[in-house]
Structure 1
Amino acid sequence: MFTGIVQGMAEVVAIEEKQDFRRHVLRLPPSMLGGIELGASIAHNGCCLTVTEVQDDRVAFDLMAETLRLTNLGGLQVGDKVNVERAAKFGDEIGGHAMSGHIICLARVDEVIRTPNNCTVWFTLPAEFGKYLFAKGYIGIDGCSLTIGSVEGSRFCVHLIPETLERTIIQFRQVGDAINIEVDPQTQAIVDTVERVLAQRHGAGLA
Protein backbone atom coordinates (compact mmCIF):
# COMPACT_ATOMS: atom_id res chain seq x y z
CA MET A 1 0.00 0.00 0.00
CA PHE A 2 1.06 3.57 -0.67
CA THR A 3 -0.11 6.92 0.65
CA GLY A 4 0.29 9.16 -2.39
CA ILE A 5 2.84 11.33 -0.59
CA VAL A 6 5.65 11.41 -3.13
CA GLN A 7 9.02 11.00 -1.41
CA GLY A 8 11.12 12.33 -4.24
CA MET A 9 11.94 12.28 -7.92
CA ALA A 10 14.27 9.63 -9.35
CA GLU A 11 16.17 9.76 -12.63
CA VAL A 12 16.03 6.94 -15.16
CA VAL A 13 19.70 6.07 -15.76
CA ALA A 14 19.40 2.92 -17.90
CA ILE A 15 16.79 1.07 -19.96
CA GLU A 16 16.88 -2.46 -21.39
CA GLU A 17 14.22 -3.17 -24.01
CA LYS A 18 12.97 -6.65 -24.94
CA GLN A 19 9.83 -7.88 -26.67
CA ASP A 20 6.84 -6.94 -24.50
CA PHE A 21 9.22 -6.36 -21.59
CA ARG A 22 11.38 -3.58 -20.24
CA ARG A 23 13.87 -3.23 -17.42
CA HIS A 24 14.73 0.21 -16.22
CA VAL A 25 17.16 1.43 -13.61
CA LEU A 26 16.58 4.42 -11.37
CA ARG A 27 19.03 6.45 -9.32
CA LEU A 28 17.15 6.81 -6.05
CA PRO A 29 17.57 9.73 -3.65
CA PRO A 30 19.79 8.84 -0.65
CA SER A 31 16.85 9.29 1.73
CA MET A 32 15.04 6.35 0.09
CA LEU A 33 17.85 3.79 0.11
CA GLY A 34 17.81 2.71 3.75
CA GLY A 35 16.98 -0.99 4.18
CA ILE A 36 15.99 -1.48 0.54
CA GLU A 37 15.97 -5.16 -0.47
CA LEU A 38 15.13 -7.35 -3.46
CA GLY A 39 11.37 -7.80 -3.71
CA ALA A 40 10.56 -4.44 -2.13
CA SER A 41 7.71 -2.43 -3.66
CA ILE A 42 8.32 1.10 -4.92
CA ALA A 43 5.77 3.18 -6.79
CA HIS A 44 6.89 4.83 -10.05
CA ASN A 45 4.45 7.54 -11.10
CA GLY A 46 1.97 5.69 -8.90
CA CYS A 47 2.58 2.25 -10.43
CA CYS A 48 3.74 -0.42 -7.96
CA LEU A 49 6.94 -2.11 -9.18
CA THR A 50 9.22 -4.71 -7.58
CA VAL A 51 12.93 -4.18 -6.91
CA THR A 52 14.91 -6.76 -8.93
CA GLU A 53 18.49 -5.52 -8.42
CA VAL A 54 20.30 -3.05 -6.17
CA GLN A 55 23.76 -1.58 -6.86
CA ASP A 56 24.53 1.31 -4.53
CA ASP A 57 21.96 4.01 -5.45
CA ARG A 58 20.98 2.32 -8.73
CA VAL A 59 17.86 0.18 -8.39
CA ALA A 60 16.39 -1.94 -11.20
CA PHE A 61 12.76 -2.84 -11.92
CA ASP A 62 11.09 -5.12 -14.49
CA LEU A 63 8.00 -3.96 -16.40
CA MET A 64 5.78 -6.54 -18.08
CA ALA A 65 3.59 -5.99 -21.14
CA GLU A 66 0.44 -5.11 -19.17
CA THR A 67 2.30 -2.43 -17.22
CA LEU A 68 3.67 -0.96 -20.44
CA ARG A 69 0.18 -0.95 -21.96
CA LEU A 70 -1.66 0.67 -19.06
CA THR A 71 0.86 3.25 -17.84
CA ASN A 72 3.13 6.02 -19.07
CA LEU A 73 6.25 4.15 -17.95
CA GLY A 74 6.81 2.60 -21.39
CA GLY A 75 7.42 6.07 -22.81
CA LEU A 76 10.24 6.92 -20.42
CA GLN A 77 13.70 7.66 -21.77
CA VAL A 78 17.08 7.80 -20.07
CA GLY A 79 17.31 11.13 -18.24
CA ASP A 80 13.57 11.34 -17.51
CA LYS A 81 12.39 11.57 -13.91
CA VAL A 82 9.58 9.75 -12.12
CA ASN A 83 7.75 10.30 -8.85
CA VAL A 84 8.78 7.65 -6.35
CA GLU A 85 7.34 6.38 -3.07
CA ARG A 86 8.33 3.37 -1.03
CA ALA A 87 5.58 1.14 0.35
CA ALA A 88 3.95 2.34 3.56
CA LYS A 89 4.70 0.63 6.87
CA PHE A 90 2.22 -0.02 9.66
CA GLY A 91 2.26 3.00 11.93
CA ASP A 92 3.29 5.46 9.19
CA GLU A 93 1.39 8.71 8.98
CA ILE A 94 -0.98 8.66 5.99
CA GLY A 95 -0.97 12.25 4.84
CA GLY A 96 -2.61 11.45 1.50
CA HIS A 97 -5.01 8.52 1.00
CA ALA A 98 -4.66 4.75 0.75
CA MET A 99 -3.43 3.78 -2.72
CA SER A 100 -2.80 0.32 -4.16
CA GLY A 101 -0.30 1.27 -6.86
CA HIS A 102 -2.60 -0.19 -9.55
CA ILE A 103 -3.11 2.25 -12.42
CA ILE A 104 -6.65 2.23 -13.81
CA CYS A 105 -6.07 4.33 -16.94
CA LEU A 106 -4.16 7.19 -18.53
CA ALA A 107 -5.45 10.76 -18.59
CA ARG A 108 -4.30 13.61 -20.84
CA VAL A 109 -3.34 17.07 -19.70
CA ASP A 110 -5.84 19.50 -21.21
CA GLU A 111 -4.82 22.83 -19.75
CA VAL A 112 -2.24 24.27 -17.36
CA ILE A 113 -3.13 27.55 -15.65
CA ARG A 114 -0.29 29.15 -13.69
CA THR A 115 -0.57 32.09 -11.28
CA PRO A 116 2.14 33.47 -8.96
CA ASN A 117 1.42 31.06 -6.06
CA ASN A 118 -0.84 28.40 -7.53
CA CYS A 119 -1.21 26.12 -10.51
CA THR A 120 -4.42 24.54 -11.80
CA VAL A 121 -4.19 21.57 -14.16
CA TRP A 122 -7.11 20.13 -16.14
CA PHE A 123 -7.14 16.51 -17.25
CA THR A 124 -9.44 14.35 -19.39
CA LEU A 125 -10.09 10.69 -18.61
CA PRO A 126 -11.49 8.08 -21.00
CA ALA A 127 -15.26 8.54 -20.81
CA GLU A 128 -15.96 5.23 -19.05
CA PHE A 129 -13.96 6.33 -16.00
CA GLY A 130 -15.72 9.67 -15.54
CA LYS A 131 -18.19 8.01 -13.14
CA TYR A 132 -15.45 7.83 -10.49
CA LEU A 133 -14.88 11.60 -10.42
CA PHE A 134 -16.34 13.65 -7.58
CA ALA A 135 -15.51 17.21 -6.58
CA LYS A 136 -13.39 17.13 -3.40
CA GLY A 137 -12.77 13.40 -3.87
CA TYR A 138 -9.31 11.83 -3.88
CA ILE A 139 -7.39 10.84 -6.99
CA GLY A 140 -3.86 9.61 -7.67
CA ILE A 141 -2.04 11.53 -10.42
CA ASP A 142 1.35 10.04 -11.31
CA GLY A 143 1.41 8.68 -7.76
CA CYS A 144 0.56 11.97 -6.07
CA SER A 145 -2.51 12.00 -3.82
CA LEU A 146 -4.56 15.05 -4.77
CA THR A 147 -8.03 16.45 -4.19
CA ILE A 148 -10.26 16.93 -7.20
CA GLY A 149 -11.20 20.58 -7.62
CA SER A 150 -13.97 20.58 -10.24
CA VAL A 151 -15.55 17.98 -12.50
CA GLU A 152 -17.02 18.43 -15.99
CA GLY A 153 -18.08 15.00 -17.23
CA SER A 154 -14.88 13.03 -17.70
CA ARG A 155 -12.81 16.20 -17.33
CA PHE A 156 -11.48 17.37 -13.97
CA CYS A 157 -8.94 19.70 -12.41
CA VAL A 158 -6.63 19.82 -9.42
CA HIS A 159 -5.15 22.85 -7.69
CA LEU A 160 -1.45 22.60 -6.84
CA ILE A 161 0.51 24.53 -4.22
CA PRO A 162 4.20 25.41 -4.82
CA GLU A 163 5.35 22.58 -2.48
CA THR A 164 3.63 19.94 -4.62
CA LEU A 165 5.13 21.38 -7.78
CA GLU A 166 8.60 21.52 -6.23
CA ARG A 167 8.56 17.89 -5.02
CA THR A 168 6.95 16.14 -8.01
CA ILE A 169 7.23 15.78 -11.78
CA ILE A 170 3.89 17.57 -12.19
CA GLN A 171 6.00 20.72 -12.51
CA PHE A 172 7.20 19.43 -15.91
CA ARG A 173 3.82 18.33 -17.30
CA GLN A 174 2.50 20.01 -20.44
CA VAL A 175 -0.68 19.89 -22.51
CA GLY A 176 -1.02 16.50 -24.20
CA ASP A 177 1.11 14.56 -21.72
CA ALA A 178 -0.15 11.15 -20.58
CA ILE A 179 -0.69 10.82 -16.82
CA ASN A 180 -1.09 7.68 -14.71
CA ILE A 181 -4.41 7.68 -12.85
CA GLU A 182 -5.51 5.69 -9.82
CA VAL A 183 -9.01 6.49 -8.58
CA ASP A 184 -9.79 6.26 -4.89
CA PRO A 185 -10.35 2.51 -4.22
CA GLN A 186 -13.29 3.16 -1.88
CA THR A 187 -15.00 5.38 -4.45
CA GLN A 188 -14.46 2.75 -7.14
CA ALA A 189 -15.85 -0.03 -4.93
CA ILE A 190 -18.96 1.97 -4.03
CA VAL A 191 -19.71 3.05 -7.61
CA ASP A 192 -19.17 -0.44 -9.02
CA THR A 193 -21.29 -2.05 -6.28
CA VAL A 194 -24.18 0.36 -6.79
CA GLU A 195 -24.05 -0.18 -10.55
CA ARG A 196 -24.09 -3.96 -10.11
CA VAL A 197 -27.00 -3.91 -7.65
CA LEU A 198 -29.06 -1.60 -9.86
CA ALA A 199 -28.35 -3.76 -12.90
CA GLN A 200 -29.48 -6.89 -11.00
CA ARG A 201 -32.66 -5.19 -9.82
CA HIS A 202 -33.40 -3.91 -13.30
CA GLY A 203 -32.84 -7.38 -14.72
CA ALA A 204 -35.12 -8.95 -12.10
CA GLY A 205 -37.80 -6.39 -12.90
CA LEU A 206 -37.77 -7.36 -16.57
CA ALA A 207 -37.94 -11.08 -15.84
Structure 2
Amino acid sequence: MFTGIVQGLATLERVDARPGLSTLALAFPQQQVQQVSVGASVAINGTCLTVTRQDGNVLLFDAMQETLRLTTLGDLTPGDTVNFERAARIGDEIGGHLLSGHVHTTATVVDIERPENNVTIWFEVPGDWPRYLFDKGYVAINGASLTIGEVRGNRFNVHLIPETLRVTTFGQVQVGDRVNIEIDSQTQTIVDTLARLGYDRPASNTTNLGSASN
Protein backbone atom coordinates (compact mmCIF):
# COMPACT_ATOMS: atom_id res chain seq x y z
CA MET A 1 0.00 0.00 0.00
CA PHE A 2 0.98 3.62 -0.56
CA THR A 3 -0.16 6.96 0.84
CA GLY A 4 0.05 9.17 -2.24
CA ILE A 5 2.72 11.38 -0.67
CA VAL A 6 5.49 11.58 -3.27
CA GLN A 7 8.89 11.12 -1.60
CA GLY A 8 10.98 12.50 -4.42
CA LEU A 9 12.04 12.27 -8.04
CA ALA A 10 14.01 9.50 -9.76
CA THR A 11 15.65 9.71 -13.19
CA LEU A 12 15.42 7.01 -15.83
CA GLU A 13 18.94 5.95 -16.81
CA ARG A 14 18.08 3.28 -19.35
CA VAL A 15 15.42 0.89 -20.58
CA ASP A 16 16.30 -2.69 -21.49
CA ALA A 17 13.48 -3.84 -23.77
CA ARG A 18 12.79 -7.51 -24.47
CA PRO A 19 9.72 -9.17 -26.00
CA GLY A 20 6.84 -8.57 -23.56
CA LEU A 21 9.07 -7.10 -20.85
CA SER A 22 11.01 -3.92 -20.21
CA THR A 23 13.51 -3.38 -17.40
CA LEU A 24 13.67 0.19 -16.10
CA ALA A 25 16.88 1.39 -14.43
CA LEU A 26 16.12 4.40 -12.25
CA ALA A 27 18.58 6.54 -10.32
CA PHE A 28 17.27 7.62 -6.89
CA PRO A 29 18.56 10.12 -4.35
CA GLN A 30 21.13 8.20 -2.30
CA GLN A 31 19.27 8.64 1.00
CA GLN A 32 16.13 7.07 -0.47
CA VAL A 33 17.69 3.70 -1.28
CA GLN A 34 18.87 2.86 2.21
CA GLN A 35 17.65 -0.56 3.38
CA VAL A 36 15.99 -1.29 0.04
CA SER A 37 15.97 -5.02 -0.72
CA VAL A 38 15.17 -7.07 -3.79
CA GLY A 39 11.43 -7.71 -3.76
CA ALA A 40 10.52 -4.35 -2.23
CA SER A 41 7.59 -2.43 -3.71
CA VAL A 42 8.04 1.11 -5.03
CA ALA A 43 5.41 3.24 -6.76
CA ILE A 44 6.81 4.75 -9.96
CA ASN A 45 4.46 7.47 -11.24
CA GLY A 46 1.80 5.68 -9.21
CA THR A 47 2.52 2.21 -10.62
CA CYS A 48 3.53 -0.42 -8.08
CA LEU A 49 6.74 -2.11 -9.27
CA THR A 50 9.06 -4.63 -7.63
CA VAL A 51 12.77 -4.05 -7.16
CA THR A 52 14.63 -6.78 -9.05
CA ARG A 53 18.19 -5.54 -8.57
CA GLN A 54 20.18 -2.72 -6.98
CA ASP A 55 23.38 -1.12 -8.23
CA GLY A 56 24.31 1.66 -5.81
CA ASN A 57 21.59 4.28 -6.01
CA VAL A 58 20.15 2.70 -9.18
CA LEU A 59 17.18 0.37 -8.74
CA LEU A 60 15.95 -1.92 -11.50
CA PHE A 61 12.32 -2.82 -12.08
CA ASP A 62 10.64 -5.17 -14.57
CA ALA A 63 7.49 -3.91 -16.28
CA MET A 64 5.51 -6.50 -18.22
CA GLN A 65 3.54 -5.80 -21.37
CA GLU A 66 0.21 -5.31 -19.58
CA THR A 67 1.76 -2.72 -17.27
CA LEU A 68 3.23 -0.85 -20.22
CA ARG A 69 -0.14 -0.95 -22.00
CA LEU A 70 -2.20 0.37 -19.09
CA THR A 71 0.20 3.05 -17.84
CA THR A 72 2.51 5.74 -19.16
CA LEU A 73 5.68 3.84 -18.23
CA GLY A 74 6.13 2.73 -21.82
CA ASP A 75 6.39 6.40 -22.85
CA LEU A 76 9.46 7.04 -20.69
CA THR A 77 12.85 7.69 -22.29
CA PRO A 78 16.28 8.02 -20.64
CA GLY A 79 16.59 11.33 -18.81
CA ASP A 80 12.90 11.52 -17.88
CA THR A 81 12.05 12.04 -14.22
CA VAL A 82 9.32 10.19 -12.33
CA ASN A 83 7.56 10.49 -8.98
CA PHE A 84 8.34 7.73 -6.51
CA GLU A 85 7.05 6.50 -3.17
CA ARG A 86 8.30 3.50 -1.25
CA ALA A 87 5.63 1.21 0.19
CA ALA A 88 4.04 2.38 3.44
CA ARG A 89 4.87 0.62 6.68
CA ILE A 90 2.66 0.07 9.72
CA GLY A 91 2.85 3.21 11.82
CA ASP A 92 3.60 5.57 8.92
CA GLU A 93 1.61 8.79 8.75
CA ILE A 94 -1.15 8.68 6.11
CA GLY A 95 -0.81 12.18 4.74
CA GLY A 96 -2.75 11.54 1.53
CA HIS A 97 -5.15 8.63 1.02
CA LEU A 98 -4.54 4.90 0.72
CA LEU A 99 -3.44 3.75 -2.73
CA SER A 100 -2.83 0.30 -4.16
CA GLY A 101 -0.42 1.32 -6.90
CA HIS A 102 -2.72 -0.29 -9.49
CA VAL A 103 -3.33 2.26 -12.24
CA HIS A 104 -6.91 2.31 -13.56
CA THR A 105 -6.45 4.48 -16.64
CA THR A 106 -4.48 7.36 -18.07
CA ALA A 107 -5.54 10.98 -18.55
CA THR A 108 -4.33 13.71 -20.87
CA VAL A 109 -3.36 17.22 -19.80
CA VAL A 110 -5.65 19.56 -21.74
CA ASP A 111 -5.05 22.95 -20.11
CA ILE A 112 -2.72 24.60 -17.61
CA GLU A 113 -3.67 27.81 -15.79
CA ARG A 114 -1.08 29.81 -13.87
CA PRO A 115 -2.70 32.21 -11.41
CA GLU A 116 -0.36 33.89 -8.92
CA ASN A 117 1.50 31.44 -6.64
CA ASN A 118 -0.23 28.27 -7.84
CA VAL A 119 -1.06 26.22 -10.90
CA THR A 120 -4.35 24.67 -12.02
CA ILE A 121 -4.09 21.69 -14.35
CA TRP A 122 -7.04 20.28 -16.30
CA PHE A 123 -7.11 16.61 -17.29
CA GLU A 124 -9.35 14.61 -19.63
CA VAL A 125 -10.18 11.00 -18.78
CA PRO A 126 -11.61 8.39 -21.17
CA GLY A 127 -14.57 6.06 -21.08
CA ASP A 128 -16.69 5.69 -17.94
CA TRP A 129 -13.98 6.76 -15.49
CA PRO A 130 -15.45 10.28 -14.95
CA ARG A 131 -18.30 8.61 -13.01
CA TYR A 132 -15.86 8.20 -10.10
CA LEU A 133 -14.70 11.83 -10.07
CA PHE A 134 -16.40 14.38 -7.81
CA ASP A 135 -15.72 17.96 -6.82
CA LYS A 136 -13.47 17.91 -3.73
CA GLY A 137 -13.02 14.14 -4.01
CA TYR A 138 -9.71 12.28 -4.07
CA VAL A 139 -7.71 11.09 -7.04
CA ALA A 140 -4.12 9.90 -7.47
CA ILE A 141 -2.25 11.38 -10.44
CA ASN A 142 1.18 9.91 -11.18
CA GLY A 143 1.15 8.56 -7.63
CA ALA A 144 0.35 11.87 -5.92
CA SER A 145 -2.76 12.05 -3.73
CA LEU A 146 -4.65 15.16 -4.83
CA THR A 147 -8.00 16.82 -4.19
CA ILE A 148 -10.17 17.39 -7.25
CA GLY A 149 -11.14 21.01 -7.73
CA GLU A 150 -13.89 20.86 -10.33
CA VAL A 151 -15.38 18.26 -12.67
CA ARG A 152 -16.81 19.21 -16.08
CA GLY A 153 -18.00 16.30 -18.16
CA ASN A 154 -14.99 14.09 -18.80
CA ARG A 155 -12.56 16.74 -17.55
CA PHE A 156 -11.41 17.69 -14.07
CA ASN A 157 -8.83 19.96 -12.51
CA VAL A 158 -6.49 20.06 -9.53
CA HIS A 159 -4.93 23.09 -7.87
CA LEU A 160 -1.24 22.78 -7.02
CA ILE A 161 0.82 24.86 -4.60
CA PRO A 162 4.51 25.70 -5.23
CA GLU A 163 5.72 22.96 -2.85
CA THR A 164 3.85 20.27 -4.80
CA LEU A 165 5.32 21.60 -8.03
CA ARG A 166 8.80 21.53 -6.50
CA VAL A 167 8.80 17.94 -5.21
CA THR A 168 6.90 16.26 -8.05
CA THR A 169 6.96 16.12 -11.84
CA PHE A 170 3.95 18.44 -12.10
CA GLY A 171 6.29 21.42 -12.40
CA GLN A 172 7.40 20.02 -15.77
CA VAL A 173 4.04 18.91 -17.15
CA GLN A 174 2.85 20.23 -20.52
CA VAL A 175 -0.41 20.19 -22.44
CA GLY A 176 -0.69 16.88 -24.29
CA ASP A 177 1.22 14.87 -21.67
CA ARG A 178 -0.35 11.66 -20.38
CA VAL A 179 -0.50 10.80 -16.68
CA ASN A 180 -1.45 7.72 -14.66
CA ILE A 181 -4.75 7.78 -12.76
CA GLU A 182 -5.76 5.68 -9.77
CA ILE A 183 -9.36 6.21 -8.70
CA ASP A 184 -10.08 6.43 -4.97
CA SER A 185 -11.12 2.90 -3.97
CA GLN A 186 -13.80 3.99 -1.50
CA THR A 187 -15.42 6.27 -4.07
CA GLN A 188 -15.36 3.48 -6.65
CA THR A 189 -16.96 1.04 -4.21
CA ILE A 190 -19.75 3.46 -3.29
CA VAL A 191 -20.52 4.40 -6.90
CA ASP A 192 -20.55 0.75 -8.05
CA THR A 193 -22.70 -0.34 -5.09
CA LEU A 194 -25.27 2.38 -5.77
CA ALA A 195 -25.28 1.41 -9.46
CA ARG A 196 -26.10 -2.21 -8.56
CA LEU A 197 -28.98 -0.93 -6.42
CA GLY A 198 -30.34 1.06 -9.34
CA TYR A 199 -29.06 4.48 -8.28
CA ASP A 200 -26.63 4.82 -11.13
CA ARG A 201 -24.83 8.11 -11.67
CA PRO A 202 -25.73 9.55 -15.10
CA ALA A 203 -23.01 9.12 -17.68
CA SER A 204 -20.81 12.19 -18.11
CA ASN A 205 -21.20 14.32 -21.19
CA THR A 206 -18.05 13.52 -23.13
CA THR A 207 -18.71 16.10 -25.85
CA ASN A 208 -15.70 18.29 -26.57
CA LEU A 209 -16.04 21.16 -24.12
CA GLY A 210 -13.38 23.34 -25.68
CA SER A 211 -10.82 24.99 -23.43
CA ALA A 212 -11.56 24.10 -19.82
CA SER A 213 -10.39 27.52 -18.68
CA ASN A 214 -13.08 29.41 -20.63
Q: Which runs of 5+ in 1 are unaligned?
A: 200-207
Alignment map for 1:49-60 (pairs within 5 Å): 49-60=49-60
AA matched with 1:110: V
* Worse overlay, 40-49 or 187-196: 187-196
Report the 3-state secondary structure (helix = DSSP H, G, I; strand = E; otherwise coil) of the residue aligned with 1:4: coil
Report the counterpart of residue 140 of structure 2 in structure 1: 140
- 1:135-174 matches, cutoff 5 A: 135-174=135-174
Question: What CA distance in whole angstroms lies between the structure 2 residues aligned with 1:69 and 1:14?
Answer: 19
Q: Which moved more, 1:75-84 or 1:186-195?
A: 186-195
Q: What does 1:19-168 align with in structure 2 at a 5 Å threshold?
A: 19-168=19-168
Counterparts of 1:162-201 in structure 2 under 5 Å? 162-198=162-198
Q: CA RMSD in A?
A: 1.0
The Cα offsets for residues 56-96 of structure 1, whole Å up to 9 and x where unpaired, read as: 10100000011000000001001101000000001000110
- Structure 1 residue 153: Cα displacement: 1.5
**What do residues 119-173 of structure 1 show as CA deviations (whole Å, max 9, x unaligned)?**
0000010131010000110000000100000001111000000000000001111
Deviation at 1:198, TM superposition (A): 2.1
Tell me the secondary structure at the aligned position of residue 146 of structure 1. strand
- State the alpha-carbon separation in 2 of the partners of residues 68 and 127 from structure 1: 19
Distance (Å, rounded) in 2 between the aligned partners of 1:94 and 1:21:
33
**CA apart distance, 1:14:** 1.4
Q: Matches of 2:34 and 2:190 in 1, distance apart? A: 38
Indicate if the aligned counterparts of 1:133 and 1:154 stay in contact, CA closer than 8 A: no
Between 1:18-27 and 1:59-68, the stretch displaced more is: 18-27
- The runs of 5 or more residues in structure 2 that have no matched partner are 200-214
- Distance (whole Å) between structure 1 residues aligned to residue 116 and residue 191 of structure 2: 37
Percent of residue pairs identical: 52
One-letter code aligned to 2:141: I
Q: Residues of 2 paired with 1:124 and 1:31: CA distance?
A: 36
How far off its partner does 1:180 sit? 0.2
The one-letter amino acid of 2:105's match is C
Higher helix share: 1
- Measured after TM superposition, the shift of residue 190 of structure 1 is 1.0
What per-residue deviation string (whole Å, max 9, x for no partner) do you get for residues 92-115 of structure 1? 001100000000000000100112
* Runs of 4+ that moved beyond 4 A: none
**Cα offset, 1:21, TM superposition:** 1.2
* TM-score, normalised by the number of residues in structure 2: 0.91
- State the match for 1:202 in structure 2: none
Normalised by the length of structure 1, the TM-score is: 0.94
